[in-house]
Amino acid sequence: MRRTNFTPRDDSIPERVLRLEPRVGWIVGFVALIWTVELVNTLFGHRLTALGLYPRTLLGVPGIFFSPFLHTGIGHALANTIPFIILGSLVLLRSARTFVELSLFIIVVGGVAVWLVGRPAYHVGASGLVMGYFGFLLARGWYERTVLAIAIAGVVLLLYGGALWGLLPFIPGMSWEMHLFGFLAGVLAARILPTDATRVDRSVD
């Protein structure tokens, strides 16, 4: 006999916000790592950029994992930090597990895609991760069709809809490949990662 142990919980917006407080360490940790790396990179004349993602080279493979934490300067890091905090926090409203799984999925899937087809240049920055969160939050509104998911998707589109231009190869010096494949990885994650409603503890007798 299969028994499902499930304790109903309040999924209202105020309750989700209250549950966010103990999870902020994930955001703080990511941001601290980004800025620690940027400080060290600045001290070394940004030589650490050579650890970034360089397509179709063996030396560029570790950059799939390093690139989200490497930036070309303080301005670049700051430009990614603010949307990372906002969009990452909206993802964390779901759960810390979703945030971690989604972040790893975007880094690996989006990074591998850039490695396979990106231009021969160093691709660095957290923008791919940010665009992944953006794509995930938009797509979850479509797939879940709940009032909350649709409302969050609407707010995200209103705040960052202009970022969709970053998916096109129009701006010199910007890795549109990271933006595009990060975004697509987020949309794919919204389709295949389990929703919070399906994360139910089960035991079998």
Q: What does the chain look like in DSSP terms, one character per residue?
A: -EEE-------SHHHHHHHHGGGHHHHHHHHHHHHHHHHHHHHTTTGGGGGSB-TT-STTSTHHHHGGG--SSHHHHHHHHHHHHHHHHHHHTT-HHHHHHHHHHIIIIIHHHHHHHS-SS-B-STHHHHHHHHHHHHHHHHHH--HHHHHHHHHHHHHHGGGGGGGSTTSTTS-HHHHHHHHHHHHHHHHHSPPGGG---EEE-
pLDDT band, residue 57 (cuts 50/70/90): very high
pLDDT score of 19: 60
Over residues 35-47, the pLDDT tens digits come to 999 999 999 999 9
The model's pTM: 0.86
Residue 5: pLDDT band (50, 70, 90) is very low
pLDDT of amino acid 198: 55
Sequence ranges of the domains in the chain:
8-193
* pLDDT, mean of residues 5-33: 68
* CATH H-level, domain 8-193: superfamily: Rhomboid-like (1.20.1540.10)
Contact indicator for 128, 181 with CB cutoff of 8 Å:
yes
Q: Average the pLDDT over 107-135 and give the result.
A: 97
